[in-house]
Amino acid sequence: RAKASRMRHLRYLEGQDEQHQRRLMLVRDLQHAAAQGQLKLVYQPQIDTKSGEINGFEALMRWHHPTLGLVSPDEFIGLAEQSGNIALLTRWLIDSVGRQMAEWEARGRMLRISINLSAQDVIDPALPDRLESVMHHYRLSPARLCLEVTESAIIQDPVLAHRTLEKLRCRGFRIAVDDFGTGYSSLSQIRSLPIEELKIDKSFIFGLDDSADDRTIVRSTIELGHNLGLEIVAEGVESSVSRQLLNELGCDYLQGYFISRPMAVEDVPDWIEQYDS
């Protein structure tokens, strides 16, 4: 028995060690991921709840590691933040999205795109200039780029974050609070932020069809947001039931697997055509 337990513990330690090795490897390789063309963006559509029209797409990052295969952003974004590499990824993100929007625009598709910013991006004083110069370079209107920032990112340094967001807002970028409901921001904090959009976290949307509590939370969030003059997006819409409920609750935009999973960039034009027809 004691031996079995020792063996278990040994396997546990080996597991820990493997995880540790994996993290070290990811952190090391992250630094070259962008330069070596291992990063890709996938795009997930967002639709207008009432009209069903396409409102835009959220760009989500993917890392195709040469030996480990596809690594999830839930794993590598956190590591990039901890190891001080996130600015590198964000720079790549901004350039790629700018180039992509310009390419679509050249073919007559004026799409609105959302990107995700991390806690460190939001307090980076160089970010507003960098974003502006990319948009300028590709002759794009900043109003077509929505910057998604989580509540928890803002809360890490509210004063600095507020300052950066204010600058971005002044330059015409659209700002959304992502994962709303999962952080601990107070109402007054949200109210003083220069934002236009709240994205209700998918954990509340998943429960819509069978949890009365989640329905209450979603209903009051929509009400609260509207009263503050904000537009509301629901993410994680996976069923027609949630879509129907969100329509009844007056949610402005919907995003989720029920509409589409995130797709490769080359699939976007075909998807739009099929959806529109």
Residues that bind ligand C2E (CB under 6 A): 44, 60-61, 72-74, 77, 93, 116-118, 148, 178-179, 202, 235-238, 255-257, 262
Q: Find the farthest-apart pair of alpha carbons in the chain and give their distance in angstroms, rounded.
A: 70
**Identity of the residue, 98 or 236, whose beta carbon is nearer to ligand C2E in the bound complex:** 236
Residue 12 interaction partner, one of Ca ion, ligand C2E, none, beta carbon < 5-8 Å per kind: none
Candidate list 148, 151, 214, 252; residue touching Ca ion; CB under 5 A: 148
| Residue 220 burial (10 A CB sphere; 0-12, 13-18, 19+) | exposed
Q: How far apart are CA 228 and CA 231, in angstroms?
A: 9
Rounded least distance, CB 84 to ligand C2E, Å? 14
Question: From the centroid of its chain, how far is CA 266?
Answer: 20
- Say which amino acid occupies 68: L
Matching residue, tokens 């598709």: 109
CA atoms within 13 A on the CB side of 71: 23
Rounded least distance, CB 5 to ligand C2E, Å? 37
What residues pair up with 43 in beta bridges, in sequence order? 59, 263
Residues present in the chain in total:
277
Q: How far apart are CA 164 and CA 124, in angstroms?
A: 7
> Helices 73-82 and 86-106 sit at what angle, rounded to 10 degrees?
130
Interface map 155-184 toward Ca ion (x if CB under 5 A): -----------------------xx-----
**Identity of the residue, 148 or 214, whose beta carbon is nearer to Ca ion in the bound complex:** 148
Residue 242 interaction partner, one of ligand C2E, Ca ion, none, beta carbon < 5-8 Å per kind: none
Number of residues engaging Ca ion in binding (CB under 5 A): 5
The interface region with Ca ion, picked from 42-50, 86-94, 140-148, 239-247 by CB under 5 A, is 140-148
Closest C-alpha among 272, 275, 226, 277 to residue 249: 226
**Identity of the residue, 7 or 35, whose beta carbon is nearer to ligand C2E in the bound complex:** 35
Residue 85 interaction partner, one of ligand C2E, Ca ion, none, beta carbon < 5-8 Å per kind: none
Residue 144 interaction partner, one of ligand C2E, Ca ion, none, beta carbon < 5-8 Å per kind: none
Could you say which DSSP state residue 81 is in? H
Rounded least distance, CB 66 to Ca ion, Å? 26
**Identity of the residue, 29 or 58, whose beta carbon is nearer to ligand C2E in the bound complex:** 58
Residue 252 near Ca ion by CB under 5 A: no
Q: Are 102 and 139 in contact (CB under 8 A)?
A: yes
Residue ranges binding Ca ion (CB under 5 A): 116, 148, 178-179, 235
